[in-house]
Amino acid sequence: MTRKITRRQLLRTAGLGAGAVALGALPAAAAPEAGLLRGGGRALLGGSAGRGVLSLARVWPADADQWAALWSFDDTHARFDDGSVELLLWPGDLPRLDALGIRYRVTLPDLLAHEASLREAARGRRAVAVDVPGTGTTYRKLDAVSPVEALAGVTSYYGDLRALADAHPDMVQLFELPETSLEGRTVYGIEVCSDVAREDGRPVFYMDGLHHAREWPSGEFTIMFAYELVTGYGKDSRITELMDSVRTVLVPVQNPDGFTRSRDALTSYLSAHTPLDTPLLVSEQEYHRKNTRSHSGAPHPPLETGAGIDTNRNYGFQWGGDGSSGSPTSQTYRGPEPFSEPEARNVRALLSRLHAVTLNSNHTHGRLLLRPPGARTFGAFPDEEILTELGDAQAAHNGYRSIFSYELYDTTGTTMDWGYGAHGSLAYTYEHATSFHPDYPGYIAEAWTDGGVRESFLVLAEAAANPAWHGVLRGRLTDASGAPLPGRVSVEKTFEIPLWKDGDASNPAGIPALTEEHTSEMVTDADGSFVFHVNPSRRPFEPDEGVPYTVTVTAEDGRSASRTVHVGRGDVANLGEVAVS
Q: Decide: 342 and 350 in contact? Cβ < 8 Å.
A: no
CB of 88 to Zn ion, least distance (A): 12
CB of 456 to Zn ion, least distance (A): 17
CB of 11 to Zn ion, least distance (A): 25
- How far, in Å, are 123, 394, 426, 540 from residue 382 at the CA level? 50, 20, 11, 7
Distance CA 70, CA 92 (A): 14
CB of 360 to Zn ion, least distance (A): 13
Distance CA 229, CA 458 (A): 10
Residues with Cβ within 8 Å of residue 118, at least 6 apart in sequence: 439
> What is residue 371's DSSP assignment?
E
Q: Within 23-62, which residues bind Zn ion (CB under 5 A)? A: none
Q: Binding of Zn ion at residue 313 (CB under 5 A)?
A: no
Distance CA 226, CA 190 (A): 8
> What is residue 92's DSSP assignment?
T
Q: Within 354-413, which residues bind Zn ion (CB under 5 A)? A: 363
Is the Cβ of residue 363 or residue 569 nearer to Zn ion in the bound state? 363
CB of 171 to Zn ion, least distance (A): 30
Q: Within 233-252, which residues bind Zn ion (CB under 5 A)? A: none
Task: Provide the 10 A C-beta neighbour count for residue 320.
Answer: 25
State the Cα angle at 62 between 102 and 76, rounded to 5°.
Answer: 65
- Distance between alpha carbon 567 and the CA centroid of its chain, in Å? 27
Q: Is 39 helix (H, G, I), strand (E, B) or coil?
A: coil
Candidates 80-88, 211-219, 387-395, 563-571; binding stretch for Zn ion (CB under 5 A): 211-219
Is the Cβ of residue 437 or residue 454 nearer to Zn ion in the bound state? 437
Distance CA 491, CA 484 (A): 20
Distance CA 165, CA 145 (A): 19
Is the Cβ of residue 212 or residue 355 nearer to Zn ion in the bound state? 212
Is the Cβ of residue 242 or residue 416 nearer to Zn ion in the bound state? 416
Q: Within 536-555, which residues bind Zn ion (CB under 5 A)? A: none
Is the Cβ of residue 254 or residue 554 nearer to Zn ion in the bound state? 254
Candidates 50-58, 63-71, 138-146, 207-215; binding stretch for Zn ion (CB under 5 A): 207-215
377-402 burial code (b ≥16 CB/10 A, e <16): ebeebebeebbeebbebbbebbebeb
Is the Cβ of residue 212 or residue 295 nearer to Zn ion in the bound state? 212
Distance CA 216, CA 219 (A): 6
Count residues binding Zn ion (CB under 5 A): 3
Helices 384-398 and 453-463: crossing angle in degrees, nearest 10, is 150
Is the Cβ of residue 363 or residue 493 nearer to Zn ion in the bound state? 363
CB of 348 to Zn ion, least distance (A): 18
Q: Binding of Zn ion at residue 212 (CB under 5 A)?
A: yes
CB of 490 to Zn ion, least distance (A): 35
Q: Which of 118, 117, 87 is nearest to 105 (CA)?
A: 87
Distance CA 328, CA 346 (A): 22
CB of 177 to Zn ion, least distance (A): 19
Candidates 12-20, 204-212, 397-405, 567-575; binding stretch for Zn ion (CB under 5 A): 204-212
The interface mask with Zn ion, positions 154-193, x = CB under 5 A, is: ----------------------------------------
CB of 312 to Zn ion, least distance (A): 6
Is the Cβ of residue 313 or residue 363 nearer to Zn ion in the bound state? 363
Q: Within 214-233, which residues bind Zn ion (CB under 5 A)? A: 215
Is the Cβ of residue 363 or residue 470 nearer to Zn ion in the bound state? 363
Is the Cβ of residue 217 or residue 475 nearer to Zn ion in the bound state? 217
| CA distance from start to end of the chain | 17
State the Cα angle at 236 between 231 and 240, rounded to 5°.
Answer: 80
Is the Cβ of residue 408 or residue 445 nearer to Zn ion in the bound state? 408
Candidates 117-125, 206-214, 496-504, 512-520; binding stretch for Zn ion (CB under 5 A): 206-214
CB of 210 to Zn ion, least distance (A): 9
Helices 453-463 and 217-232: crossing angle in degrees, nearest 10, is 70
CB of 211 to Zn ion, least distance (A): 6
Candidates 205-213, 389-397, 475-483, 552-560; binding stretch for Zn ion (CB under 5 A): 205-213
For 568-571, which contacts have Cβ atoms below 8 Å and span 24 or more sequence positions?
568/471, 568/536, 568/537, 568/538, 569/383, 569/386, 569/424, 569/468, 569/469, 569/470, 569/471, 569/536, 570/467, 570/468, 570/469, 570/470, 570/471, 571/471, 571/472, 571/536
Q: Decide: 507 and 499 in contact? Cβ < 8 Å.
A: yes
Is the Cβ of residue 262 or residue 535 nearer to Zn ion in the bound state? 262
Is the Cβ of residue 436 or residue 532 nearer to Zn ion in the bound state? 436
CB of 437 to Zn ion, least distance (A): 11
Distance CA 344, CA 364 (A): 19
Q: Within 453-492, which residues bind Zn ion (CB under 5 A)? A: none
Candidates 208-216, 411-419, 445-453, 508-516; binding stretch for Zn ion (CB under 5 A): 208-216
Q: Within 326-365, which residues bind Zn ion (CB under 5 A)? A: 363
State the Cα angle at 473 between 471 and 474, rounded to 5°.
Answer: 140
CB of 364 to Zn ion, least distance (A): 7
CB of 510 to Zn ion, least distance (A): 29
Is the Cβ of residue 287 or residue 500 nearer to Zn ion in the bound state? 287
Candidates 18-26, 212-220, 266-274, 484-492; binding stretch for Zn ion (CB under 5 A): 212-220
Per the DSSP assignment, residues forming a β-bridge with 206 are 249, 359
Q: Site residues (CB under 5 A) for Zn ion?
A: 212, 215, 363
